[in-house]
Amino acid sequence: MDLTQLEMFNAVASTGSITQAAQKVHRVPSNLTTRIRQLEADLGVELFIRENQARMVVAGDEPQGLFSLGSLESTAAVRISPTLAHFNQRYPKIHLALSTGPSGTMIDGVLEGNLSAAFVDGPLVHPALEGLPVFPEEMMIVAPFGHPPIARASEVNGASVYAFRANCSYRRHFESWFHADRATPGRIHEMESYHGMLACVIAGAGLALIPRSMLESMPGHHHVYARPLAEEWRWLTTWLVWRRGAKTRQLEAFIALLNEDRQAAVSP
């Protein structure tokens, strides 16, 4: 699954129409239909109930309405796609709208009321938010293939770095790793995607910090040097957060399904 497919899925889920979704993402309907079917084949589940099939809906208390969810790009790409598919199947009256971005942007969206909830990098420290930890992420320093082993930041002092914008928590974590060892990154090149970061690293242009789950999902990850950061910097935790006292029925349904899928993933 890639972010283009995720954008298409989100457009169809929010509009309820292939034609309207195609207009929203500037594609022809036939292309959208093909990509959605490819996504269904990849995930092994049917994401949408077609109009010529029977639809069983329990009347009355079924959650419905808009559920605006924010997410880190890596979380959206490799962690929650099965849950989004299950959520869309189980709650057809809920209109799921997904947006991705760095933690700072997602937190602002939740605080401003534009997002019902968001997956962000923890820990949770804002007094106006509450949430729960959901995914541990192992952070990998990524360098051009053949790079000498990297055990500490002083060994790459002054190296160019590829990262998201300044409000990205992973970028701040990377910079803190440098500063804790009395080292400084060189020029920080701001990128819009992990795929762009990886391409620049493969080309020998610098370093990046990428979660292992995201790195191993991308073509080309075998063509770089990758090593976990030292133990005290190695692990970060992704949280699902929402405004304190603002847990909606849609959010409660999503949390329940998320926990169900996480439990199924670890069960033998």
Going from the first residue of the chain to its last (268 residues), give the mean pLDDT of each consecutive group of 10, the final group possibly shorter. 74 74 78 76 63 39 86 94 92 92 93 94 92 96 96 97 92 96 96 94 96 95 96 96 92 94 77
- Read off the pTM: 0.75
The pLDDT of residue 145: 95
For residue 123, cis peptide bond before it (omega within 30 degrees of 0): yes
pLDDT at 57: 36
Per-residue pLDDT, 45: 60
Question: Which pLDDT belongs to residue 6?
Answer: 77
pLDDT of the residue at 262: 87
pLDDT in the model for residue 239:
97
